[in-house]
A and B are shown apart, each in its own frame.
Chain A
Amino acid sequence: MSQTQIDTLDAATSTMTLSLDMGLYPRDVLYAAAYVFLDRAYVLLDRVDSRYVVHLRGKQKLDETALRAMAGEFSNELLAQALRLRVAKANQKIIEDITTLAIAGAGGMPSGDRDPALVDLDQPGEDGFLDDPLGIAEPWEAKKKDAAS
């Protein structure tokens, strides 16, 4: 069985069923790829054993050639979405940091010495929001680390 394949194709009803290996594509990738086709087809997602099953019915009349082309486009979209997911994961931290700064800025959050980031557990003295002469804000984890060393 191939990784992505056409299981059924019926030009008379403009319908087609694809199946793909669940181990190869995360579910989010399948959702994202299916979403792209919503303007052209009615889409139903299902699962049979270890394979996702995608039922597509064209909103317009589609002949066999058009259906096969759509199947090819779906396969390509899966690949594109898989790559996008991987890139998004790799950049998640930087996206969060930039988003935080953007939202904080839009919300009139103080900046500069009032950095809205978390307490840095590796630098507990840098809690920054106010003077803390008694070390009250020092996380217990840091004290534990000090005690151990």
Chain B
Amino acid sequence: MSTVKLGTQWFDYADVLVDVMIGYACNVQCDFCSVTDQMREENMPLASVMAILSDARARGATKVAFGGGEPTIRKGLLPLVRWCRDRGYRSIKLPSNGLMYSYKEYAREAVDAGVTDFNLSLMAHTDALYARIMGRPDAFALVNQGVQNLVALKQQPIGDLIVKHDTWMHLADSVEYWAGMGVRRFNLWLVSLSDRNKDNLESLLPVSTMRDGIFAAFERGKQLGVTVLSRHIPLCLLPGHAEHMADLREDRVLVVSPRASFALWESKISPSAYTAKCAGCVHQHGICLGLRRDYLDRYGDGELVPEYATAAARAPSAA
């Protein structure tokens, strides 16, 4: 059994999810997407992907994800999934916008090939908002059909919801809508001001402005018996909701992209920055990974309310 270094720690490959960014090409252009035109042209050659996965499997890896871009538009993806399954990968995750699953045959092929985790980016709960965000008029209908197809195949898709200026107030309704379609688990992701989206400042509002919508989503999830987790927002910005905080490190994701390999929580679109105010907070280096740098650059740390164990632990700069 081999180990791999993620951040400052070493992990067994068996515990690590190898997340291969097979390419950034996509079939839609969402209005908050951070992938630039240049990145969209970057694709990993299939031989490289297979070599990486062969090596990781030989070292004991059993979990793989194929990211992008939109992986389902890549010809040869499902044979690659099958190839992974036949070589002992037991967990195969496929994050997607869900459009391709609207073809019943494609959904069935994906299940047959061995995809075990269907993560779907669910933009909204209405036709108009979906079309505006994704730029495709029939997107909502197609994703609905895709979710139906997956659920009919006894899959439990996971919903990834983006938190931004025009979605935060609808998060609870989105959770309810998609829960009604059979989605039992949701992740909330804060929109990122990076790369292509870096100048789209209006897309990212202060968490304190969007907090009510996030809390409503947590509450609606509880009422409906589905799980809603926040993956990018520090606990002190969502006080009283520790049970809804996901720790990105628990997934132990090794991202392999055309440009580099790194731990997911070290990515520039992951929270990784503490401020002086955080020194002495009981959650620092614990459940809280800090703030995302783009958020900090935009809004500073004024909203943070660290939880100090004692008055003595309070950072001087925060006094």
- A residues neighboring B (CB under 8 Å): 96-97, 99-100, 103-104, 107-110, 114-119, 121, 127-132, 134, 136-141, 144
Contact = CB atoms under 8 A, between A and B. Distances in A.
Interface stretch (B40-48, B220-228, B272-280): B40-48
Contacts of B83: 104, 107-109
Contacts of B27: 136-140
Interface band, chain B: 35 or more
B29 A118 contact: no
A136 B26 contact: no
11 contacts: A96-B47, A103-B51, A103-B54, A109-B79, A114-B79, A116-B79, A119-B73, A121-B25, A129-B75, A134-B138, A139-B25
Contacts of B51: 99, 103
B127 interface: no
B15 to A, nearest CB: 25
A118 B26 contact: no
User: By DSSP majority rule, is chain B's interface helix, strand, loop, or mixed?
Assistant: helix
Interface stretch (B96-104, B209-217, B302-310): B96-104
A103 B73 CA distance: 22
Nearest to B135: A140
Interface string B3-36: 0000000000000000000010111110000000
Contact of B79 (A104, A119, A130): A104
B132 interface: no
B241 to A, nearest CB: 36
B246 to A, nearest CB: 30
B76 to A, nearest CB: 3
A110 B113 CA distance: 12
Nearest to B83: A107
Contacts of A108: 83, 86
Contacts of B99: 136
B112 interface: no
